[in-house]
Amino acid sequence: MAAFLIRRLIGAVLVCVAVTFIVFLIFIVVPGGGKQGTAERIAGKNATPALVKAVEHQWGFDRPIYTQYAIMMKKMFTNKLVSYTSQQNVLTQIVQGMPATFSLTIGAGLIWLFFGIVVGVISAVKAGRLSDRVITVLALIGISMPVFWLGIVTRYYLAEGGISTFFPDGEYVGITADPLKWFSHLILPWLVLAVLFIGFYGRVLRGNILDAINEDYVRTARAKGLAPRRIMIKHVLRMSLIPIITLFGLDFASVLGGGAILTETVFDLHGVGQYAAQSINNFDLPPIMGVTMYGAFFIVAFSILVDLFYAYLDPRIRPT
Amino acid sequence: MAEMLLEVDDLSVQFATEDGLVRAVDGVSFELERGKVLGIVGESGSGKSVTAMTVMGLTRGVNAKFGGSVTYKGVDLLAASDSEMQGYRGNEIGMIFQDPMTSMNPVYRVGEQIVEAIQAHEDVDRRAARKRAVELLRQVGIPNPESRVDDFPHQFSGGMRQRAMIAMALSCNPSILIADEPTTALDVTIQAQIVELIDRLKSDFDSAVIMITHDLGVVADIADEILVMYAGRVVERAETRDLFYDPQMPYTWGLLGSIPRLDRPRPERLYSIKGSPPSLINAPGGCKFRPRCPYAFDKCGEEPALEQRVETAGHLDRCWLDVDFKRDHRDEMISGGATEAA
Amino acid sequence: MSSQAPLIELRHVKKYFPIRRGVLSREVARVHAVDDVSLAVREGETLGLVGESGCGKSTLGRTIVRLLEPTAGEILFRGQQIESLGPRQLRPLRREMQMVFQDPYASLNPRKRVGSIIGDPLKIHSIGDKRERKATVEQLLETVGLSPEHYNRFPHEFSGGQRQRIGIARALALRPKLIVADEPVSALDVSIQAQMLNLLEDLQNEFQLTYIFVAHDLGVVRHVSDRIAVMYLGKIVELSPAEELYERPIMPYTEALLSAVPIPDPDLARKRERIVLEGDVPSPINPPSGCRFHPRCRYASQVCREIEPPLTDYGNGHLAACHHPLNVDAATLSAAHAAPQTPLSAQEEALPHDSSGASDPVHGAGGHPGDR
């Protein structure tokens, strides 16, 4: 068990290094990126070529790529990473965005997991009947509605007075500042973000359940004379939920890691995702690197957690 | 006379499918007394498993239609409600299946799964149920049951899993144990152990057994009576010795001839029943076995009834052939042309 | 009937699977799946390989066709050493050696049509053009008793027996010399088993095939085999011409295997004594000392626990590894000598001194430990 963890942790570090390096490389090669573009942006409009050159040298853009990468990583781990455009400390900015992102993710995650399971179970139990078909159509609509569109539409109609102004219009309010406002401000973002996942999880779970129902051990459970409800929960659902856990772990981690860029931006939550969006717009490499590292951390951390949870759920893959 | 446990009368089971109506079981009748072993033998798709599953109420569903009756201790199980049926399953009638590898839930300990079966029917606490699970595992021959009860199924070998399945099926002391191909997925050595175990437990638990198999060899030494099924119908029914020593149905001969036998000289070729079983959706008229039968003649276009044609009472078959003709010719199929050994 | 030159020969072949643990995945134990096996199979012969699950028979079959690389020992195909050839050098050999697998449901790709399942080996080895390949596949379908119209169907449209025919046609496509059939009939109904055994026999005659037939059921193996090797925990414990093995099994394990085969004759079945082997095969990670069968053997004595018996030659090509052989008379016993196939770990001089008496596990009258 310890050996398994150690191996996974080493792997996780390697993944983080690889991901940040790839992001770094992409930034160097895209048009407008690299030393020329960045130096020009830092030097400002109408800068002379000499000034651009001077900026290049001063910021170290003329040094070899791997040296630049090493310097950047060193800055990252010594908390000296600052934005090219605003000169603000990247970590501070990320930490500022975290409460909003965490609030959004945890609330939406609970909603989409709960309703995903409900939708999946109902449509599996009623497979082929009318309620299953209605749910299927709704789920597909949910999956295919773009988040930014749904976000803008709900914000316009339910917050900005298209139909009502019942919900507050965007922005994040800290939970410690005013719990009630925190809650009311997050309802729409939660629902908008969760809709996509509910449809998707429901479909996956429905398929898993229908597979599990035909398993031999479910037949055995019926032959034992167990009540249908118990068979459903203890034997069918337990097995069908295992793959859902993987999905949830990774989806949750990516939203937590700033992946809900669109939702955060549409509702102007000032979370980590929105910070990432702004940095990308500004071609600002240090924050992009910082957010990437932050996101990669959550992804690898949660994938290790998912593996551990998996071993708990399925005794067959427990390391002996 | 022993207590009559189960009477199946003119049972028919039909499933509505996209391709049409499947007549999986068609007019099957048999009786089972306490202490007896009934063998049901036939190929895949002959309806033998569907018959057993229907007795257990496991074939119920929106697409299934039943006819006839299944009477257990005077109660018609076909007419019982789903929740009444649930009280019979596992409690009065236990069942084990072909593949012990997939028949247990891999995420629960073996003991838990037995405890669950006990608690489904009896109001006992966990500790008492667990104690009984250990005792049951001991009875089916699991070594160190006190510790093995906490193992997961994947920590058991195939033979041990089938033993554990038997322990689970017997946990509520049912009157009938249905074993659906219990040995097919196991090694020959383990098959012998399992058959012997079932035979022994039948006396220990004072129950009756329905043993379903495709291999006549498996039921030869434990069955009291055998039904041979083909295309959803019983084509021959007899006491075990009569079936083996005086088989009346060419299909039975084919099944016997297909077995590579150790007790006889090796034949040049095994007899193999040509072709494959008929579709159950549009079964041919007349004798169902006619297209594959080397002795078929004009009269076979009309379906023979299941009735007694030999001297022995209770030996029924569905074949128009003359009994003396059959006795003269059946060894061609059974022995595959080899001369009979003494 | 069959020429004497061995088509395939194994010399002290071992296949161990490492069990790795820890951060650095160090090897902490080994599964002794195949442990020092020597065998020769002549061209046109059928060798039956029998034993319980976990005895290493399937691993041995896969090692022979080099789906696995042996840990030690030599494998010779027509005199050419093949045990350490790489994938590229093995390619021409793949045409000569094919496998038929046990589970006809799992061993065919469900997303491929029958035509490409059977035809892909031809394509991989660039045999013929597209039209010729199609003609070959259609002919193969007919050869194995299916119809050429099945060319465009998918595996799920077929019954178990028909799928096994597809598996056989695939194995035949490259016109191999050797086919290793791993439990090819044990997942099938008895009636279908008979069809399949007859088909394999016909194909052997038609294409001069050599078979290695792996199975746990001695009834089936006897029907197809010229010679039979009985395996237990990675070792060959008895090797004999087929009929001889049934008439006089020497190794008590063989006796037990024979007595377990069901016999469709109620009187005989009730009369004969079944030698029930207690428990399961021990773990091949840590096999028992001496004779590996001793914990389950009813004739076992002190010597069996301590000394591994040599594979002893009792004449007639009948070899067995046992300190207390059955069905051996004094003359045969005195003429017996250690066979060259004896595992290197066995003591060649530890030849058996006494016979455990006569045994006929098929018709009853098993040997009794007290008779010695």
pLDDT tens profile B177-202? 999 999 988 888 888 889 989 999 99
3-class SS letters over chain B: CCCEEEEEEEEEEEEEECCEEEEEEEEEEEEEECCCEEEEECCCCCCHHHHHHHHCCCCCCCCEEEEEEEEECCEECCCCCHHHHHHHECCCEEEECCCCCCCCCCCCCHHHHHHHHHHHHCCCCHHHHHHHHHHHHHHCCCCCHHHHCCCCHHHCCHHHHHHHHHHHHCCCCCCEEEEECCCCCCCHHHHHHHHHHHHHHHHHCCCEEEEEECCHHHHCCCCCEEEEEECCEEEEEEEHHHHHHCCCCHHHHHHHHCCCCCCCCCCCCCCCCCCCCCCCCCCCCCCCCHHHCCCCCHHHHCCCCCEECCCCCCCEECCCCCHHHHHHHCHHHHCCCCCCCC
pLDDT, position C365: 54
- Alpha-carbon dihedral sign for residues A103, A104, A107, A113: negative
From chain C, the residues in CB contact with A3 under 8 A are 21-23
pLDDT, position A319: 63
CA distance, residue A12 to nearest chain B CA (Å): 28
Reading the block at residue B67, the tokens are: 């006819």
Q: Best mutation site among B41, B189, B330, B333 for testing chain C: the one with the most C CBs within 10 Å?
A: B189
From chain A, the residues in CB contact with B154 under 8 A are 315-316
Residue B73 falls in which region: left (phi positive, over 0), alpha (psi -120 to 50) or beta: left
Band of pLDDT at residue B282, cut at 50, 70 and 90: confident
Q: Does A319 touch chain B (CB under 8 A)?
A: no
How large is the average pLDDT for residues A8-15? Answer: 90
- Alpha-carbon dihedral sign for residues C204, C210, C213, C218: positive
From chain C, the residues in CB contact with B240 under 8 A are 266
Q: Best mutation site among A1, A5, A7 for testing chain C: the one with the most C CBs within 10 Å?
A: A7
Q: Residue B33, Cβ neighbours under 10 Å: how many? A: 16
CA distance, residue B17 to nearest chain A CA (Å): 14
| Among candidate residues A286, A252, A258, the one with its CA nearest the CA of residue A272 | A258
Q: Does C20 touch chain A (CB under 8 A)?
A: no
Quick check: A191 and A145 in contact, CB under 8 A? Answer: no
Q: Does A156 touch chain B (CB under 8 A)?
A: no
pLDDT, position C123: 92
C-alpha B326: how far from its chain's center?
27
pLDDT, position A28: 80
pLDDT digit string, tens, across residues B143-187: 899 999 999 999 998 889 999 999 999 999 999 999 999 998 888
Band of pLDDT at residue B322, cut at 50, 70 and 90: very high
Alpha-carbon span C46 to B125, nearest angstrom: 59
pLDDT digit string, tens, across residues C249-278: 999 999 999 998 988 999 988 888 878 787
| B338 has a pLDDT exceeding 50 | no
Band of pLDDT at residue B272, cut at 50, 70 and 90: confident
Band of pLDDT at residue C1, cut at 50, 70 and 90: very low
pLDDT, position A282: 84
Q: 3-class SS at A89?
A: strand
Band of pLDDT at residue C310, cut at 50, 70 and 90: very high
Q: Which residue has the higher pLDDT, B282 or C169?
A: C169
pLDDT, position B229: 97
| A101 has a pLDDT exceeding 60 | yes
Q: Inter-chain contact A316–B116, Cβ cutoff 8 Å?
A: no
Q: Residue B341, Cβ neighbours under 10 Å: how many? A: 10
Rg (CA), chain C: 22
Q: Does C298 touch chain B (CB under 8 A)?
A: no
pLDDT, position C232: 95
Q: Residue C237, Cβ neighbours under 10 Å: how many? A: 25
| C139 has a pLDDT exceeding 80 | yes
Q: Inter-chain contact C194–B270, Cβ cutoff 8 Å?
A: yes
Q: Best mutation site among C150, C183, C190, C220 for testing chain B: the one with the most B CBs within 10 Å?
A: C190
The most distant pair of C-alpha atoms in chain A lies apart, rounded to whole Å, by 86
Residue B114 falls in which region: left (phi positive, over 0), alpha (psi -120 to 50) or beta: alpha
Q: Inter-chain contact C21–A3, Cβ cutoff 8 Å?
A: yes
Quick check: C248 and C367 in contact, CB under 8 A? Answer: no
What is the percentage of chain A residues whose pLDDT exceeds 90?
38
- Can you tell me which residue has the tokens 């006190």? B146
- Can you tell me which residue has the tokens 């003269």? B328
Rg (CA), chain A: 24
* Pairs of CB atoms within 8 A across A/C: 5
Scan residues 225-264 of B and list those with Cβ closer than 8 Å to C: 240-241, 244, 254-263
Chain A residue at shortest CA distance from C19: A320
- The closest CB to that of B120, out of A225, A239, A315, belongs to A225
How distant, in Å, are the alpha carbons of A193, A252, A317, C93 from that of A249? 16, 5, 18, 47
CA distance, residue A4 to nearest chain C CA (Å): 7
What is the b/e burial string over B222-259, where b = at least 16 CB atoms within 10 angstroms of the residue's CB? bbbbbbbbbbbbbbbbbbbbbbbebbbbbbbbbbbbbb
C-alpha B273: how far from its chain's center?
21
Band of pLDDT at residue A280, cut at 50, 70 and 90: confident
pLDDT, position C371: 41
How distant, in Å, are the alpha carbons of A313, B150, B315 from that of A239? 9, 20, 48
| B341 has a pLDDT exceeding 50 | no
- Chain A contact residues (CB < 8 Å to C): 3, 6-7
How many residues would you count in chain C?
Answer: 372
Quick check: C91 and C82 in contact, CB under 8 A? Answer: no
How large is the average pLDDT for residues C296-302? Answer: 92
Reading the block at residue A228, the tokens are: 């249908």
Residue A8, burial from CB neighbour count under 10 angstroms (0-12, 13-18, 19+): middle
pLDDT, position B339: 40
Residue A181, burial from CB neighbour count under 10 angstroms (0-12, 13-18, 19+): middle
Q: Inter-chain contact A227–B94, Cβ cutoff 8 Å?
A: no
- Phi, psi dihedrals of residue C318, rounded to the nearest 5°: -105, 110
pLDDT digit string, tens, across residues A198-242: 999 999 999 999 999 999 999 999 999 999 999 999 999 988 998
> Neighbours of A (≥3 Cβ pairs closer than 8 A)?
B, C
**Identity of the amino acid at B48:** K
ipTM for this model: 0.90
How large is the average pLDDT for residues A24-28? Answer: 86
CA distance, residue B108 to nearest chain A CA (Å): 8
**Residues 6 or more apart in contact with residue A57 via CB below 8 angstroms:** none
Q: Best mutation site among B259, B268, B280 for testing chain C: the one with the most C CBs within 10 Å?
A: B259
From chain C, the residues in CB contact with B158 under 8 A are 53
Chain A residue at shortest CA distance from B169: A224
CA distance, residue B214 to nearest chain A CA (Å): 20
Reading the block at residue C334, the tokens are: 């005195």
How large is the average pLDDT for residues C157-181? Answer: 92
Least confident range from A201-210, B243-252, C51-60, C352-361: namely: C352-361
From chain B, the residues in CB contact with C267 under 8 A are 241
How large is the average pLDDT for residues C117-137? Answer: 92
| A173 has a pLDDT exceeding 80 | yes
From chain B, the residues in CB contact with C276 under 8 A are 192-193, 196
**Residues 6 or more apart in contact with residue A192 via CB below 8 angstroms:** A147, A150, A151, A154, A263, A266, A267
How large is the average pLDDT for residues A263-281? Answer: 90
| C2 has a pLDDT exceeding 70 | no
pLDDT, position A312: 85
- Phi, psi dihedrals of residue B31, rounded to the nearest 5°: -130, 155
Q: Does B88 touch chain A (CB under 8 A)?
A: yes
Q: Measure the CA angle with vertex C126, ends C123 and C130; round to 5°.
A: 60
Alpha-carbon span B283 to C302, nearest angstrom: 64
| Among candidate residues B266, B291, B296, the one with its CA nearest the CA of residue B277 | B291
Which DSSP state fits A82?
A: B
Band of pLDDT at residue A320, cut at 50, 70 and 90: low
- Alpha-carbon dihedral sign for residues B137, B139, B143, B145: positive
CA distance, residue B179 to nearest chain A CA (Å): 12
Alpha-carbon span A288 to A280, nearest angstrom: 7
CA distance, residue A223 to nearest chain B CA (Å): 6
Question: Which alpha helices (DSSP H) does chain A contain, by range?
Answer: 2-29, 34-43, 49-59, 65-77, 90-125, 130-144, 147-154, 179-213, 216-223, 228-230, 238-254, 261-266, 272-281, 285-313
From chain A, the residues in CB contact with C27 under 8 A are none
| Among candidate residues B178, B206, B172, the one with its CA nearest the CA of residue B90 | B172
